[in-house]
Amino acid sequence: MHSLITQPGDTVAAALLRNAIPPTSTVTYRGDDEIVPDNHVLDPNSTYVARLIEGYDIVGIRRLYQTQDSSAAYVHRRLGVAPTGALRMESTPLDLEGAEAHVEGVVRDTIAEFGLLESGDQVVLGLSGGVDSGSLLMLLAAYRDSGAVPDLNIHAATFQDFDSKWSETFDFARGLAQRHGVDHHVIEAGYAEKVFHLNRPMAQILMHLMETEDAHLAMYADHHSTRRVLEAYGDEIGVQKIALGLHTTDLLAGMLNSFTTGFDVGPIPRRQVGPYTYILPLAFTPKRELHLYYSRRTGHRPKQTTPNQWEFNPTDRNFYYYLADQIQWYWPGIEHWMFTAHARNAVDMSARYRECENCGGSVVQQPAVAVEWSGLCDVCQLLDKHGWIDHS
């Protein structure tokens, strides 16, 4: 029997979670035999017993999460699993300078271990000016300047959407590239209209799409069109390697989506998509560590911009992100297991890629979707459905 720490107003579930006990692993009784539900508010005048119904070592597992006081700005944790199955929680207190060095070391090791960049490489980097892409630019520039690949040529490309001209991040992207000696190119909004043969601006289409029954697809259309524009720009300058600022949470959320829907995704952190090689140097860098790195390098706290309305649709995507963050808390470092295991087990999808007859993007035929290839990618089918593709 163990006494649990509770707070006034706690429900049964809140009290259990406060003590690192999953509510699903117990049945809770008030008194001798009254079973109470998870949302029952604890009565301070009653006695409760939560009986463990699972047979695992809850005491040993809870011990992993016992923390020692630390005055450091951040404590980097990693759950280690020995070949014998033994568990230990590694905890390293870091100040901002230490967090900066840690992030640079992780990215440097990721690039080297997976062969993401080689001498003489040219790479297109999608630069929005936000925390993720801005940090990636600084990290790749630091890697270049370290002498690991001194002749690395980084082409930062910023896609000019409907509000970027007035956005602080837009100006910041330009200044950041200049400060780190990186070529910067602004891809005008009209470029997407040419690539996708549209009869109106993409920004206008996304807003219109939010008023239709396909509103939940606007975010996917936004992301696909941005990636395809980067590919088309890369074709213009003769570069087919593209770096994206997708961090650990982004990729874990995507894998959860893949596991639950049966859709295949390519390996991490290097992925071939048709003729293009996508590299994901931030794959093993959690968002929080990226935030600290950005703060340290720029000298100010990142500004959280208001998301576009389609960023909250579909809501299951937000749920995947929420779960990915929860998983990282309970199993810090799980990405090292999941991503490398997935890379070993990922199937070769090169023979299943088709080229969209409208935008030219590469699309993998998914075994979970028994639909014949129509010649158009999903996004172009959506655009064509609403009459936004110019067939003349």
Residue 196 has what pLDDT?
97
> Is there a domain that residue 289 lies in?
yes
Q: Which residue range(s) make up the domain with 127?
A: 96-347
Q: Which two tokens stand for residue 179?
A: 């400060």
- Res 348 pLDDT > 70: yes
pLDDT digit string, tens, across residues 3-36: 999 999 999 999 999 999 999 999 999 998 999 9
Which of 147-151, 159-163, 289-293 has the weakest average pLDDT? 159-163
Average pLDDT, the chain: 91
Tell whether 213 is covered by a domain: yes
For residue 166, pLDDT beyond 80: no
pLDDT higher than 80, residue 62: yes
Residue 382 lies in a domain: no
pLDDT recorded at residue 338: 94
If asked whether residues 164 and 257 sit together in one domain, one would say yes
Query: 89 pairs with which residues across the strands?
Result: 79
On whether both 153 and 24 belong to a single domain, the answer is: no
Looking at the chain, list the stretches that DSSP marks H as alpha helix, in order from N- to C-terminal side: 12-18, 58-64, 96-113, 131-145, 168-179, 190-196, 202-209, 218-237, 248-261, 287-298, 315-330, 334-345, 378-385
Residue 164 clears pLDDT 70, i.e. is over it: no
Q: Which of 328, 347, 366 is the last residue of a domain?
A: 347
- Name which of 154-158, 165-169, 245-249 the model is least confident about: 165-169
Q: Interior CA angle at 348 toward 347 and 354, to 5°?
A: 120
Instruction: Determine the pLDDT at residue 281.
Output: 98
Whole-Å CA distances, 137 to 108, 178, 209, 216: 13, 11, 32, 31
Write out pLDDT tens, residues 106-120: 999 999 999 999 999
Q: Is the pLDDT of residue 169 over 70?
A: no
Give the separation between CA 293 and CA 281, rounded to whole angstroms: 14
Location of structure tokens 């749920």: 319
State the Cα–Cα distance between residues 145 and 279, nearest whole angstrom.
19
Residue 347: pLDDT band (50, 70, 90) is confident
In a shared domain, residues 42 and 111: no
| Same domain membership, residue 257 and residue 180 | yes
User: Per the domain annotation, does 45 fall within a domain?
Assistant: yes
Determine whether 78 is exposed, middle or buried from the number of CB atoms within 10 Å of its CB (0-12, 13-18, 19+).
middle
Confidence of residue 165 (pLDDT cuts 50, 70, 90): low
How many C-beta atoms lie closer than 10 Å to residue 109's C-beta?
A: 11
- Say whether pLDDT at 149 is over 70: yes
Domain assignment present for residue 72? The answer is no
pLDDT digits (tens, 9 = 90+) for 68-83: 777 888 999 999 999 9
Q: Please indicate, yes or no, whether residues 137 and 213 belong to a single structural domain of this protein.
A: yes
- Domain termination residue (choose one: 20, 44, 64): 64
Tell me whether residue 75 is in a domain: no
CA angle 295, 180, 144 (to 5 degrees): 100
**pLDDT level of residue 274 (50, 70, 90 thresholds):** very high
Number of structural domains found in the chain: 2
Tell me what percent of the residues of the chain surpass a pLDDT of 90: 75
pLDDT at 334: 97
Instruction: Give residue 286's pLDDT.
Output: 95
- Residue range 159-178: average pLDDT? 72
User: What would the DSSP string read from start to end of 199-252?
Assistant: SS-HHHHHHHHTTSTTGGGHHHHHHHHHHHHHHHHHHHHT--EEE----HHHHH
Q: What share of the chain is helix, strand, coil (3-state, %, to 5)?
A: 45, 15, 40
Question: For position 227, which CATH number holds?
Answer: 3.40.50.620
Identify the pLDDT of residue 272.
92
Query: What pLDDT, on the 0 to 100 scale, is given for residue 184?
Result: 93
The answer to whether residues 192 and 130 belong to one domain is yes
**Shared-domain flag, residues 60 and 104:** no
User: What pLDDT, on a 0 to 100 scale, did the predictor assign at position 351?
Assistant: 77
Q: Is residue 24 part of a domain?
A: yes
The pLDDT of residue 372: 78
- Same domain? For 162 and 115 the reply is yes
> 140 and 187 in one domain?
yes
Residues 110, 215, single domain; the answer is yes
| pLDDT > 80? residue 161 | no
Same domain, 177 and 281: yes
Q: What is the mean pLDDT of residues 364-388?
A: 88
Q: Is residue 283 a part of any domain in this protein?
A: yes
- Do 42 and 105 fall into the same domain? no
CA dist 16 to 2, 62, 210, Å?
12, 11, 40
